[in-house]
Amino acid sequence: MISIEMLKKGIDNIFNTTNKKEDILQKICDYLKNEVSYYDWVGFYFKDEDKEQLKLAQFSGKPTQHTIIPFGKGICGQVAISNENFVVQDVTEQNNYISCGIEVKSEIVIPIFVNDENIGQIDIDSHTKNPFKKEDEELLEYICLQVSNILQ
């Protein structure tokens, strides 16, 4: 599998060669989904204006009906409140979970901060159980930091 260092380089390349924020976010989704075998759905949710809910922005993978997620609901909604990474190696162990399909076995959500405010997140679903390592968090935190910089 492609190394985390190579993945970071690929991500850097997207930021260096793309102008529009929307295009950068879409390319990140497509890139991660294509390069990491166990990333089956990659998307960005952002806080919906002044409402206590998340709104789906760019994504790569099967379209989901969960385009709006209230704060506190599901893994994503919990991260909107906790401000912390949420790594779910087995979704069947979570009660507060919103399913996007029976094929999804695990999920990782990393928050994005702008000026210390939690303004959104990257969300990844996997069809594999127990796939996530420390490197996944490291890579996704790296991406969220760069996304944060273009959203300032």
Q: Residue 42 contacts by C-beta under 8 Å, 6 or more apart in sequence?
A: 28, 29, 30, 32, 33, 59, 60, 61, 122, 123, 124
C-beta separation of 118 from 141 below 8 A: no
Nearest distance, CB of residue 18 and ligand SME, angstroms: 24
Question: Residue with structure tokens 């970071």?
Answer: 8
Nearer to ligand SME, 34 or 101 (CB): 101
Nearest distance, CB of residue 96 and ligand SME, angstroms: 7
Query: Which residue number has the CB closest to ligand SME?
Result: 74
Nearer to ligand SME, 17 or 82 (CB): 82
Nearer to ligand SME, 18 or 53 (CB): 53
Vertex 29 angle, CA 25 and 34, to 5°: 145
The DSSP line for 92-116 is GG-SS---S-TT--EEEEEEEEETT
Nearest distance, CB of residue 143 and ligand SME, angstroms: 17
Binding site for ligand SME (CB under 6 A): 41, 43, 64, 66, 69, 74-77, 97-98, 100, 107, 123, 125
Nearer to ligand SME, 43 or 111 (CB): 43
